[in-house]
Amino acid sequence: MKTATVRILVVDDFTPFRQWVRTKLETQQNFEIAGEAADALEGIQKAQELTPDLIVLDVALPDINGIEAAKQLCRVVPSAKILFLSRHADEDIAQCALSNGAQGYVVKSDAEREIIPAMEEVLRGGKFVGSGVKRMVKNPMRNLLQFAAPTYR
Protein backbone atom coordinates (compact mmCIF):
# COMPACT_ATOMS: atom_id res chain seq x y z
CA MET A 1 0.00 0.00 0.00
CA LYS A 2 1.45 3.35 -1.07
CA THR A 3 1.67 6.10 1.55
CA ALA A 4 0.29 9.48 0.53
CA THR A 5 2.81 12.07 -0.60
CA VAL A 6 3.10 15.17 1.58
CA ARG A 7 3.08 18.31 -0.53
CA ILE A 8 5.36 21.06 0.80
CA LEU A 9 5.66 24.77 0.05
CA VAL A 10 8.97 26.40 1.03
CA VAL A 11 8.86 30.16 1.70
CA ASP A 12 12.32 31.68 2.25
CA ASP A 13 14.02 34.66 0.62
CA PHE A 14 17.46 32.99 0.68
CA THR A 15 17.68 30.92 -2.52
CA PRO A 16 20.52 28.65 -1.35
CA PHE A 17 18.50 27.68 1.70
CA ARG A 18 15.40 26.87 -0.40
CA GLN A 19 17.65 24.73 -2.60
CA TRP A 20 19.09 22.99 0.47
CA VAL A 21 15.56 22.17 1.72
CA ARG A 22 14.65 20.81 -1.72
CA THR A 23 17.77 18.63 -1.82
CA LYS A 24 17.20 17.40 1.75
CA LEU A 25 13.59 16.47 1.07
CA GLU A 26 14.36 14.73 -2.23
CA THR A 27 15.99 11.99 -0.14
CA GLN A 28 12.68 11.34 1.64
CA GLN A 29 10.19 8.98 0.01
CA ASN A 30 6.93 10.66 0.91
CA PHE A 31 7.84 14.36 0.66
CA GLU A 32 7.37 16.44 -2.47
CA ILE A 33 8.21 20.12 -2.95
CA ALA A 34 4.98 21.45 -4.46
CA GLY A 35 6.39 24.96 -4.78
CA GLU A 36 8.78 27.64 -3.57
CA ALA A 37 8.39 31.34 -2.82
CA ALA A 38 10.95 34.08 -2.12
CA ASP A 39 8.66 36.32 -0.06
CA ALA A 40 5.48 36.18 2.00
CA LEU A 41 3.08 37.59 -0.62
CA GLU A 42 4.28 35.08 -3.21
CA GLY A 43 4.04 32.35 -0.55
CA ILE A 44 0.45 33.24 0.29
CA GLN A 45 -0.47 33.28 -3.39
CA LYS A 46 1.21 29.91 -4.04
CA ALA A 47 -0.34 28.39 -0.93
CA GLN A 48 -3.77 29.37 -2.22
CA GLU A 49 -3.02 27.86 -5.64
CA LEU A 50 -1.22 24.70 -4.49
CA THR A 51 -2.96 23.90 -1.16
CA PRO A 52 0.13 22.26 0.35
CA ASP A 53 0.00 19.93 3.34
CA LEU A 54 2.96 21.65 5.00
CA ILE A 55 4.44 25.14 4.69
CA VAL A 56 8.08 25.60 5.68
CA LEU A 57 8.32 29.30 6.49
CA ASP A 58 11.12 31.72 7.36
CA VAL A 59 10.52 34.44 9.97
CA ALA A 60 12.59 37.17 8.30
CA LEU A 61 11.05 37.83 4.89
CA PRO A 62 11.53 41.00 2.83
CA ASP A 63 7.91 42.09 2.56
CA ILE A 64 5.77 40.76 5.41
CA ASN A 65 7.41 38.98 8.33
CA GLY A 66 6.77 35.27 8.55
CA ILE A 67 4.68 35.51 11.70
CA GLU A 68 2.19 37.85 10.03
CA ALA A 69 2.32 35.65 6.92
CA ALA A 70 1.46 32.61 9.08
CA LYS A 71 -1.74 34.33 10.26
CA GLN A 72 -2.75 34.91 6.64
CA LEU A 73 -1.73 31.41 5.58
CA CYS A 74 -3.96 29.94 8.30
CA ARG A 75 -6.90 31.73 6.71
CA VAL A 76 -5.97 30.88 3.11
CA VAL A 77 -5.12 27.19 3.66
CA PRO A 78 -6.49 26.18 7.06
CA SER A 79 -5.62 22.52 6.48
CA ALA A 80 -1.88 23.23 6.03
CA LYS A 81 0.57 22.79 8.89
CA ILE A 82 3.25 25.47 9.37
CA LEU A 83 6.84 24.80 10.39
CA PHE A 84 9.11 27.80 10.93
CA LEU A 85 12.75 27.46 9.95
CA SER A 86 14.56 30.56 11.11
CA ARG A 87 18.04 31.81 11.91
CA HIS A 88 16.54 33.40 15.05
CA ALA A 89 17.09 31.29 18.16
CA ASP A 90 15.02 33.65 20.25
CA GLU A 91 12.44 32.49 22.77
CA ASP A 92 10.14 35.48 22.22
CA ILE A 93 10.10 35.03 18.44
CA ALA A 94 9.44 31.30 18.81
CA GLN A 95 6.61 32.00 21.27
CA CYS A 96 5.08 34.50 18.88
CA ALA A 97 5.37 32.06 15.96
CA LEU A 98 3.79 29.23 17.91
CA SER A 99 1.00 31.51 19.12
CA ASN A 100 0.09 32.56 15.57
CA GLY A 101 -0.63 29.34 13.78
CA ALA A 102 2.68 27.48 13.55
CA GLN A 103 3.03 23.94 14.85
CA GLY A 104 6.82 23.91 14.89
CA TYR A 105 9.93 26.04 15.11
CA VAL A 106 13.48 24.99 14.14
CA VAL A 107 16.61 27.12 14.09
CA LYS A 108 18.34 26.90 10.69
CA SER A 109 21.68 25.99 12.27
CA ASP A 110 19.98 22.82 13.58
CA ALA A 111 17.97 22.09 10.44
CA GLU A 112 20.29 19.35 9.15
CA ARG A 113 19.49 17.27 12.21
CA GLU A 114 15.97 18.48 13.06
CA ILE A 115 14.03 19.30 9.89
CA ILE A 116 12.80 15.77 9.15
CA PRO A 117 11.81 14.90 12.76
CA ALA A 118 10.12 18.32 13.06
CA MET A 119 8.15 17.81 9.85
CA GLU A 120 7.09 14.32 10.90
CA GLU A 121 5.93 15.51 14.34
CA VAL A 122 4.01 18.46 12.91
CA LEU A 123 2.36 16.29 10.27
CA ARG A 124 1.29 13.82 12.99
CA GLY A 125 -0.52 16.72 14.65
CA GLY A 126 2.09 17.34 17.32
CA LYS A 127 4.20 20.37 18.17
CA PHE A 128 7.97 20.71 17.74
CA VAL A 129 10.35 23.22 19.29
CA GLY A 130 13.94 22.79 18.14
CA SER A 131 16.92 22.39 20.43
CA GLY A 132 18.34 25.77 19.32
CA VAL A 133 15.41 27.58 20.89
CA LYS A 134 15.38 25.38 23.97
CA ARG A 135 19.04 26.26 24.59
CA MET A 136 18.17 29.98 24.51
CA VAL A 137 15.20 29.82 26.87
CA LYS A 138 15.61 32.50 29.52
CA ASN A 139 13.51 30.64 32.06
CA PRO A 140 14.23 26.90 31.86
CA MET A 141 11.15 26.09 33.95
CA ARG A 142 8.90 27.50 31.23
CA ASN A 143 7.71 25.13 28.56
CA LEU A 144 7.57 26.73 25.11
CA LEU A 145 5.04 24.19 23.96
CA GLN A 146 2.41 25.94 26.09
CA PHE A 147 2.44 28.60 23.38
CA ALA A 148 1.72 26.03 20.72
CA ALA A 149 -1.93 25.70 21.68
CA PRO A 150 -4.29 24.86 18.85
CA THR A 151 -5.14 27.85 16.71
CA TYR A 152 -8.78 28.45 15.89
CA ARG A 153 -9.09 29.64 12.34
Share of the chain above pLDDT 70, in %: 86
Between 9 and 135, whose confidence is greater? 9
Residue 1: pLDDT band (50, 70, 90) is: very low
Residues 67 and 69: their CA atoms lie apart, in Å, by 5
Using pLDDT thresholds of 50, 70 and 90, give the confidence band for residue 152. very low
Segments making up each domain of the chain, as ranges: 6-147
- Structurally, at CATH architecture level, domain 6-147 sits in 3-Layer(aba) Sandwich (3.40)
- Residue 62 pLDDT > 90, yes or no? yes
Q: Which helix (H) or strand (E) holds 152?
A: none
The total of other beta-carbon atoms located within 10 Å of residue 118's CB is 25
Phi-psi region of 51 (alpha: psi -120 to 50; beta: other; left: phi over 0): left
For 76-93, what is the mean pLDDT?
93
Q: Quickly state the pLDDT bin for 90 (edges 50, 70, 90).
A: confident
**How distant is the alpha carbon of residue 124 from its chain centre?**
14
Q: Please report the pLDDT score of residue 134 as a whole number.
A: 73
Predicted TM-score (pTM) of this structure: 0.86
**Which residues lie closer than 8 Å to 52 by C-beta, 6 or more apart?**
7, 8, 9, 34, 35, 77, 80
Residue 7 has pLDDT above 60, yes or no: yes
Q: In this predicted model, which residue has the larger pLDDT, 66 or 146?
A: 66
Taking only the tens place, the pLDDT of each residue in 100-136 is 889 999 999 999 999 999 999 999 999 999 998 876 5
